[in-house]
Structure 1
Amino acid sequence: MSTPLEALPHRHVLTLPAQPPAVRVARETAEAALAEWGVSASHPAVGPALLILAELVANSVRHAVPPTRQVTVTYAAGPDCLAFAVHDRHPYRPPLHAARTGTGGGAGTGGLATVMELTTGLGGTAVVRGDRDGRGKSIWITLPL
């Protein structure tokens, strides 16, 4: 993935109430955006990307309310890269690499472990970026196309 996130030509932002229907809407929006951007639904990264996205939105809805009332999903793509972020206003920043390796506090099972396994298996990256005020975070996933 040689394209910096800032240089990705396609971008869409969606803000939804932090409620269970957000998972379906976020996934359907991703499918529509990818089709509009010319990324085939049959590309090997698309299915896992949609699963990762759904898991991250579900985690925000399940674990970040309150204080989160909304979940914001940012979608981006370029010729060789697909990226998305899920943002909520809960201050907890999950240790993604602990989820992948199974270290620490029961990590290594469940949603984040699946997210990390799929992301790294596709040669992608996952990063947690905290808000400047320390009261929220975004989890960014970048996958090669």
Structure 2
Amino acid sequence: MTAQLGALPLRHVLTLPTMGSAVRLARRTTETVLLEWGIPRQHPSIDPALLILSELVTNSVRHAAELSESVTVVYAAGPDTFAFAVHDRHPHLPALHSVETLGAGGGLATVMELTLSLGGTAVVRPDADGRGKSVWVTLPL
């Protein structure tokens, strides 16, 4: 997997209002972007990536809408890597734990289980001003 996200040559940014329809639109956009980039829909990482993305956008809609009028998805890819971030302007930094460390299967636990099962990584990055964050997920292709 490519180590540096900045080195990934393919980029796309999508910003949507923080409302329920954002989940569906982010999923559709992901499928379109991957197709445009020549990443086959049948690739084993794609269905889990769509589920992870849906969970992260749903979390922004449910928990950040009060403070964040939009949610932004940043997509990046290279020859062996697909990465995406879900950004909102809510200051809470969620803890990313697996089912084993939480003891129960919550949404973010599912995100971590899928990410780790594919050999990927997930990280929460706070905005410089501390008033928002991005959850970055990187998956091998």
Which bracket does the TM-score occupy, shorter chain normalised?
A: over 0.9
In the alignment, which of 99, 104, 119 is matched to residue 115 of structure 2?
Answer: 119
Structure 1 residue 3 displacement after superposition: 4.2
Number of aligned residues: 141
Q: Is the aligned partner of 1:73 residue 2:69?
A: no
Which amino acid is 2:127 matched to?
A: D
Question: Closer, same or farther in 2 for the Cα pair 1:34/1:100, shift >3 Å?
Answer: farther
Q: Displacement of 1:97 after TM fit? A: 2.5
User: Mind listing any 5+ residue stretches in structure 1 that lack a counterpart?
Assistant: none
The answer as to whether partners of 1:30 and 1:50 remain within 8 angstroms in 2 is yes
Structure 1 residue aligned with 2:56: 56
- Structure 1 consecutive aligned stretches of length 4 or more whose deviation exceeds 4 Å: none
Q: Show the counterpart of 1:9.
A: 9
Work out the CA distance in 2 between the residues paired with 1:140 and 1:46.
16
Percent identical pairs in the alignment equals 65
**5+ unaligned residues in a row in structure 2: which ranges?**
none
For the pair 1:130 / 2:129, whether they are aligned, the reply is no
SS at match of 1:62: helix
TM-score, with normalisation over the residues of structure 2?
A: 0.96
Contact kept, 8 Å, 1:100 with 1:116, in 2: the verdict is no
* Aligned CA distance change for structure 1 residues 115 and 40 (closer, same or farther; 3 Å): same
* Alignment deviations for residues 108-134 of structure 1 (CA, whole Å, 9 cap, x no partner): 432101100000000000000000110
* Aligned 8 A contact 2:126 2:133 in 1: yes
Structure 1 residue 65: Cα displacement: 1.7
Deviations 1:82-115 (A, max 9, x none): 0000000110001102666216xxxx43210110
- 2:98–2:110 Cα contact (<8 Å) kept: no
For 2:22 and 2:61, locate their aligned partners in 1 and report how far apart those are by CA, in whole Å: 8
Residue by residue over 1:61-89, the C-alpha shift from the partner in whole angstroms, topping out at 9 and shown as x without a partner, is 00112101100000111110000000001
Distance in structure 2 (CA, Å) of the matches to 1:26 and 1:100: 29
TM, length-normalised to structure 1: 0.93
Q: Distance in 1 between matches of 2:122 and 2:2?
A: 15
Aligned equivalents of 1:80, 1:100: Cα separation in 2? 28
Are the aligned partners of 1:82 and 1:142 in contact in 2 as well (CA < 8 Å)?
A: yes
